[in-house]
Amino acid sequence: GAVVSQHPSRVICKSGTSVKIECRSLDFQATTMFWYRQFPKKSLMLMATSNEGSKATYEQGVEKDKFLINHASLTLSTLTVTSAHPEDSSFYICSAKGGQGSYNSPLHFGNGTRLTVT
């Protein structure tokens, strides 16, 4: 149980284009989803927290107009990297907590999306 599916797993795009990454909870309802970015040999960096039906909360230093997050349903959150540039190339990972999950519930992660901007 508690499977999170993230798509696509890899994407290559040209500079200036936008890329959408989907994160779905397959067998549970995710009231809260988190989007992380991970650089090689670095920790997971939280970008934003999204709650179903409300605006995402972005971490300091993360441009909300650059990284658009939509959590329109209890099973789907999307991250759109707008006007991508090479410095946006990274590994993006989503995670989710179940509806009954309390603050100490473990996170269920997707398998990540490797974004390369050329």
Partner 1 sequence: SQKIEQNSEALNIQEGKTATLTCNYTNYSPAYLQWYRQDPGRGPVFLLLIRENEKEKRKERLKVTFDTTLKQSLFHITASQPADSATYLCALALTGANNLFFGTGTRLTVIP
Q: Which residues bind partner 1 (CB under 8 A)?
A: 4, 6, 32, 34, 41-44, 46, 49, 91, 93, 95, 97, 103-104, 106-112, 114
- Contact in structure between 63 and 49 (CB atoms under 8 Å): no
If the CB atoms of residues 71 and 108 are measured against partner 1, the closer one turns out to be 108
* CA dist., res. 15 & res. 87, Å (int): 10
Q: Rounded to the nearest whole angstrom, what is the least distance from the CB of residue 63 to partner 1 in the complex?
A: 19
Residue 95 Cα to chain centre, angstroms: 7
If the CB atoms of residues 43 and 100 are measured against partner 1, the closer one turns out to be 43
Residue 12 Cα to chain centre, angstroms: 17
If the CB atoms of residues 35 and 75 are measured against partner 1, the closer one turns out to be 35
Q: Rounded to the nearest whole angstrom, what is the least distance from the CB of residue 86 to partner 1 in the complex?
A: 20
